[in-house]
Every structure is written in C-alpha cells, then in structure tokens.
Amino acid sequence: FSMSHVSPMVHAPFISEALAEARAGLAEGGIPIGCVLVRNNQVIARGHNRRIQRGSVILHAEMDCLESAGRQTAAFYKECILYTTLSPCAMCSGAIRLYGIPRVVIGENKTFHGDETLLKTHNVHIDILDSKECRELLDNYIKEHHSIWNEDIGRDQQ
Amino acid sequence: FSMSHVSPMVHAPFISEALAEARAGLAEGGIPIGCVLVRNNQVIARGHNRRIQRGSVILHAEMDCLESAGRQTAAFYKECILYTTLSPCAMCSGAIRLYGIPRVVIGENKTFHGDETLLKTHNVHIDILDSKECRELLDNYIKEHHSIWNEDIGRDQQ
Ligand SMILES: [Ca+2]
Ligand SMILES: [Ca+2]
Ligand SMILES: [Zn+2]
Ligand SMILES: [Zn+2]
C-alpha cells in the first residue's frame, strides 16, 4: 500500500461522494458536512454531521463515517483514506490519530481550519482540494445558522 | 468559576461514580472504563465504553458521557469537570479540546497513557489520582482480552 503516487484526479469521485453526504445532511435539516472512508479504491463507509438530526455532539461527519465502518483492526485502518468536505476539528483529528488513518483528503479549510498541523506532526498525509462546492455549501449554511455552527465547533456564542 | 482551590478530597466521590460506570460496563460484557461530567458540583452525565455492547468505535467512556450530556454551548462546557477512570486517548482528548472542557480528573494512566501532554499544552488542567481500583479493574480486563483492548486503542494486534 503506497500513497505517494496518488494524483489529484483520483480524489474527484471520492470527494464528490463526501459532498453528496453533506447534501444529504442538509436535506435532513442538518449541518452540511460529509465524509467517506475509502479502502482499495472503494468507498467502504459514509457519514455526515448529525448534530441536528440526532441531537448528537459526537457525530461529526468523520465520526459518523468511522462508526459506520464498524469495528476494525489497526491494520485495516492503515489501508484507508478519509475524504471529508471540511478540515477535521480536534475531535475528528483525534479519532484519525487514534485509529492510525494515514491519509486525509480535505474538501476545504476556509470556513473552518481544524487540526491539520497536529495531523501532519503525527505523519498523517493531508491533501487540501480547495473545493468551491464544499466551501459554498457550508458557508451558505453558516450564514443562516450562526448559533448552531458555533455550537458544533465549541465556539462562544457571539 | 475557579478551579485553583479544589482539594484532592473533593474528587473522591466523582471518580467513584466514574468507576461505578466502568463496573457497569464490565457487567454488560464491555471494556471497564467509565466517565462522569460534573458541573456545579453535581454529576450531569455518565458514560462508559460501549465498543462491545454496541459495536461502537467512537463510544469511548468520555464520548459516551459527552453524548449523554447532550447539546450544550461553549459557556456551559467551560463550567464542567470531566472525571474518567483512564487517561483520555487522542479521540477523547480531541473532544475535550473541541468543547473547551477546562479540567480533567484521571483515575489512572498506567494501563494506558493518553494525550495528557497535548491537553496541558492547550491549557486543560489535569489531575492524576493514581487510583489502584481504576487500574486493577482495567488491567485485569486487558490480561484476558488483549485483542479487544488493542482494537480499542488502535494498536496493531501482536
Ligand atoms: Ca462535521
Ligand atoms: Ca474508553
Ligand atoms: Zn469534527
Ligand atoms: Zn478515548
């Protein structure tokens, strides 16, 4: 399993799947952030933020996706790539570190900039796609839902 | 809200509640790690590891407890103390950082040493109680369930 020769082109279908998850979340009335876990070039699990839908404080998109992937060994996670529409927060970055996922592809990090530096320090390979679709979807949501958004990222209400 | 004058004695009843959660988990056939969230000197939420019981990879004791506490503002979390029988892993430490919980009281950190240094770097106040009860409960479990334990902490099976 080598990750040094993955071209940006191969990311497109998978970040599209993560974006589809984000849109599914929005259609449910939720925060539009989505994620997929890829192994052997196949999507093996999907997830999206479920704060509103389930009143959950732990089901960020990445956590929902990892939970959906089920119980796995460290060897399994080492062969996975996590695609997420948004830069992972401290909690989700911690989960990525706990399970030793070696690579994370991020749709955008403009609306929120997570723990990318910490992930890199722990040898997680990070790609930032700077996707306008990912950014606009979340940015439009945040403009309309400041309070929910601040809650989701643990920020003081302004 | 000041945390600089809390004596070690006040921790005893709360770590006992966390330990009771760990024992409840064991009685269900689960990994014996427990947690409570305390605010205004009262337990407001409880949790224990649910990997076995629910096939969950995200419901570590701390996560289960935070989920049980429900949706809260940053201002709310700032008044909380998290009591956990075991040193928090990368994921749980990330959740503590995300929500800005200012103080974590840890039963023991000998069976597993988590992200304490990172938490301190982010100005989370840490107390280690070095509880023999917490340690022995988990240590006995690990001796009998190496494979499940390695899975829970994202470690290669030996
Ligand atoms: Ca999310
Ligand atoms: Ca746990
Ligand atoms: Zn997150
Ligand atoms: Zn944990």
Neighbours of A55 (CB within 10 A): 11
**What's the pLDDT score for residue B6?**
57
Question: In this complex, do B98 and A154 lie within 8 Å of one another by their Cβ atoms?
Answer: yes
pLDDT tens figures, B62-78? 999 999 999 999 999 99
Q: Considering the candidates A62, A67, A144, A151, report the single residue annotated as catalytic.
A: A62
**What's the pLDDT score for residue B60?**
98
Distance A151 CA to ligand 3 centre (A): 12
**What's the pLDDT score for residue A6?**
57
Contacting residues of A for B71, CB less than 8 Å apart: 51, 55, 57, 151
pLDDT tens figures, A86-129? 999 999 999 999 999 999 999 999 999 999 999 999 999 999 99
The stretch B23-33 carries a mean pLDDT of 98
The stretch A60-81 carries a mean pLDDT of 98
What is the C-alpha to C-alpha distance for residues B81 and A59, in angstroms, rounded to an integer?
A: 22
Question: In this complex, do B57 and A72 lie within 8 Å of one another by their Cβ atoms?
Answer: yes
As a whole number, the mean pLDDT across chain B is 95
The stretch B30-48 carries a mean pLDDT of 98
Contacting residues of B for A155, CB less than 8 Å apart: 74
Sorting pLDDT into bands at 50, 70 and 90, what band is A58? very high
**What's the pLDDT score for residue A127?**
96
For residue A91, give the nearest of B73, B74, B98 by CB distance: B98
Question: In this complex, do A91 and B95 lie within 8 Å of one another by their Cβ atoms?
Answer: yes
Question: In this complex, do A91 and B90 lie within 8 Å of one another by their Cβ atoms?
Answer: no
Question: In this complex, do B66 and A73 lie within 8 Å of one another by their Cβ atoms?
Answer: no
Sorting pLDDT into bands at 50, 70 and 90, what band is A157? confident
- What are the distances in angstroms from CA A25 to CA A15, A51, A57, A82, A111? 15, 10, 15, 18, 17
Sorting pLDDT into bands at 50, 70 and 90, what band is B141? very high
What is the C-alpha to C-alpha distance for residues A2 and A79, in angstroms, rounded to an integer?
A: 9
CB A104 within 8 A of CB A81: yes
SS3 label, residue A90 = helix
> Is residue B2 scored above 50 in pLDDT?
no
In degrees, rounded to 5, the angle at the alpha carbon of residue A73 between the alpha carbons of residues B48 and A20 is 85
What is the C-alpha to C-alpha distance for residues A96 and A104, in angstroms, rounded to an integer?
A: 9
What is the C-alpha to C-alpha distance for residues A22 and A108, in angstroms, rounded to an integer?
A: 13
What is the C-alpha to C-alpha distance for residues A3 and A17, in angstroms, rounded to an integer?
A: 20
Buried b (16+ CB within 10 A) or exposed e, A9-46: eebeebbbebbebbbebbeeebbbbbbbbbbeeebbbb
Mutation target among B52, B98, B146, B150 for the A interface, most CBs of A within 10 A: B98
Distance from CA of A55 to the nearest CA of B (A): 6
Look up B62 and say whether it is catalytic.
yes
Q: Considering the candidates B17, B28, B62, B116, report the single residue annotated as catalytic.
A: B62
Distance B88 CA to ligand 4 centre (A): 5
What is the C-alpha to C-alpha distance for residues B148 and A123, in angstroms, rounded to an integer?
A: 25
Neighbours of A99 (CB within 10 A): 23
